[in-house]
Structure 1
Amino acid sequence: MTDRHFAALDDADFPTFAPGTVWLVGAGPGGPGLLTLLAYRALGEADVVVHDALVSPAILDLAPAHVERIHAGKRGGKPSPKQADITIRLIDLARAGKKVLRLKGGDPFMFGRGGEEAGELSRAGIPFRIVPGISSGLGGLAYAGLPVTHRDTNHTVLFLTGHDETGTVPSAVDWPAVSAAAPVLVMFMAVKHLPIIAERLRAAGRPQHEPVTIVSHAATPGQSVIETTLERVALLEDVPTPAIIVVGPVDAHRANLDWYRAELRSHVFG
């Protein structure tokens, strides 16, 4: 990609991507069109892109060919770099005078460990910038016709992660409180432990027939949607990941709001 691709943005009031700095940037839920303009600009100016596994090749292809690409993806159950090593790499690259783009799927501050990395950069004296992205728990669900709030069904929503730093179900979660907190629950990284989570939600009072919607590879041509219930999630096999899981009544709106239907591989389970 050459500078002419960014000519239309030259007059905008964008911050300078200076050597020796790190930008922690959200890449959105998947599709390149959901990048922010600042994220798009950063891809054209970076010296090196340190990216997660969830960042699509189509997005990485927006960076010029000479830009170094470093895979730093962390996927459950697969060999992954340690978080400490990723942060050290960012610091070393910045100290070498590079313009370092740390590219994360979704939003870096929404279960993306962006706060941890930014904290380490701060302690190391490395200047950094946070560039928010569209979270898959918002934009990704919109591609499946799932509004996280709707005045006909819910005025509150709760976001939570399906595993802790050890890879197990979060032990500190108060499941009765979670169950009662909001009609709609949006869960990140929860596929592996979904049967256990569903059992705990049911034990905490959620109805066994409550809808559960699983959106895999959101906002990409490979997006798929599974619709089931809390009672039947234990029967699911081989759910594609990454996936966002929604518990609650907003599934009722999919019939009218599923605008991406022509490009979905959608089916109903049970």
Structure 2
Amino acid sequence: MENNENKSGTTLSSEPLFHGSAANFDQFAYQQKYTAGISGLAFGIYLTNDRDTALDFAQNKYLYEVNSAVLDGRAIESTEVTLSKEDVAHVVEELVKKEIQENEISYFFTDYFGEVAELNEKETWNELYTDLTNVVAEGMLDRASSDVNVVNELYVSFGGKNSENAASLLGGALKNIGVTHCVQIRRYEKERAIQEVVAFQPEELLIQDKVDLAKLREQRFHDLQKEKTLDEKQVIPVVIPTKNKQKQNTGVLEEQLER
């Protein structure tokens, strides 16, 4: 199996990724009811390179096999800060611009700084907003001990679970700086790293195979029953004559001859 490394040093593999779920779907999407995994990320799609691990999360419902192209992008770190001030400022600027476009005001800047001068109709950005964006980026990086801290703060600051589009907008902004995922080692098994992968752009995840585990179990049960029936039909009873049976058969033959 071929392996290589991306720019962040994360080992990539051509092997597929897996996702276990009780939900039946044909395209991944952000979920409002979300439980963070070991990476601690507050949003994203959790995948793993280990099929058995995904089965544990499937609740005997559905197992999805997903292409591993998500690993081609840049990964954020859960134990250190690798995002630059320019990275964070770019994400903040994009999200604030979306706020202004939709609401004619940035609730994020208002919550962060208090009353902020609004942009006029002809300006989409100005030096004041650039300065504010840089202040936000510096503050987030100063408080953070990892990239995950920064991304989580961005998610929560722009609405988090209470917003219908915070996850999708943040995922798009991260993609624009090249960030597509986070990788964390769950455990090691037989010298193999079992990975937890969190993908930030669910619409780009390609489902290569979906297994309905209930139907699979039912099909296997029917196949076993069918094999059992065929085996029973193929068994031909073998009669081994005993001395009494031979004597009985001889008597019957003699009676037939006398008649």
Tell me whether the two structures share a fold, i.e. TM-score over 0.5: no
Which has the larger Rg?
2
Greater relative contact order structure (CA < 8 Å, 6+ sep): 2
Normalising by structure 1, report the TM-score. Answer: 0.19
